Amino acid sequence: MNAPENEPLTALLEKLAPLLAGGRLDNVVDLLSLLSDGVDIADNALVEKLAGKFEGVVAAGWEGGMALRMAHTELQLDPPPANFRSLYALLRQPDTLLGLMLVLRTLQIIGGRMRVSTLPPDAADE
């Protein structure tokens, strides 16, 4: 082989020399292997399941954002007086109660999971 043909290979080996010397190239190979295994494991059912979960998260975020924008716009256009009577009137509406029940139930589930996932008292000493 000619020297001009080896120049790109020589330049690549010079750049890879620190990675080879420090063993960091092994990490790159391991990462590529993990990625390859993930591609092999992912079948159509898994991809569809992940897509469904992603769509659900995006839809919940979209609905929450739209509700926040609508509430903000309504408050900007016609601000009600800030007192307990207007708060009570808002709490008497069935949609408000349903939304509060959803938020409180969500917080209850999060709290229960946090309590279960905490470490036992004797494990904190280690």
The H or E element containing residue 112 is helix 94-117
Q: What is the pLDDT along the chain (126 residues), one digit of tens a residue?
A: 566 778 888 888 888 888 888 888 888 889 999 988 888 888 888 889 989 999 999 999 999 999 999 988 988 898 888 889 988 988 999 999 999 999 999 999 988 888 888 766 665 555
Residue 125, helix vs strand vs coil = coil
Residue 9: predicted pLDDT: 87
pLDDT tens figures, 80-112: 888 899 889 889 999 999 999 999 999 999 888
Residue 122: predicted pLDDT: 67
What single-letter amino acid sits at 17? A
86 Cβ contact list (under 8 Å, min separation 6): 80
What single-letter amino acid sits at 113? R
Domain coordinates in residue numbering, the chain: 27-79, 81-116
Burial of 25 (0-12, 13-18, 19+ CB in 10 A): middle
96 Cβ contact list (under 8 Å, min separation 6): 90
User: What is the phi/psi pair of residue 43, to 5°?
Assistant: -105, 180
Residue 118: predicted pLDDT: 74
Percent of the chain whose predicted confidence (pLDDT) is above 70: 91
State pTM to two decimals. 0.49
